[in-house]
Amino acid sequence: MNELTPHQKDAIGRAAHLRKEVMSFQSEWPRLNSAETLPPLTWSELERQLKSLSVTEAGAMMVHDLVEATRKQASFKPNELVMREILCIASAVMDETFLSDSSSSDSEEAAPIS
């Protein structure tokens, strides 16, 4: 049998991490027997609303990448976990202090050495 490439090993590691995340979530939050569902919503509508809710320009600029990452993994996760991740994105972009610590350290790192 051929040895796995680094890319294959990375993909297997990411899949195992995702599986562990889903199993942990399902263990903590068992499925409810409720027939009530949320109204349909598109990813574009979600992104637009999250950008609108963002309190900083930096937060608004992050929304596309965060929503895209969530969308790409959504089919592999329970709906409630996807909703939780969306709520975390909303919380982060609505937090005025979310990027303040990392922004100041980034600017220090980007400053030329004299």
Instruction: Round to whole Å and give the CA distance between 64 and 68.
Output: 6
The 10s digit of each residue's pLDDT in 61-71 is: 999 999 999 99
Determine the pLDDT at residue 101. Answer: 55
Determine the pLDDT at residue 31. Answer: 84
* Predicted model pTM: 0.75
Instruction: Round to whole Å and give the CA distance between 108 and 98.
Output: 17
DSSP helix/strand/coil, 55: coil
Is residue 59 left, alpha or beta, with left meaning phi > 0 and alpha meaning psi from -120 to 50?
alpha
The 10s digit of each residue's pLDDT in 22-59 is: 999 999 988 888 778 889 999 999 999 999 999 999 99
Q: Residue 112 pLDDT > 70, yes or no? A: no
Determine the pLDDT at residue 105. Answer: 47
Which 8-state DSSP code applies to residue 62? H
What is the CA angle 96-106-89, rounded to 5?
A: 40
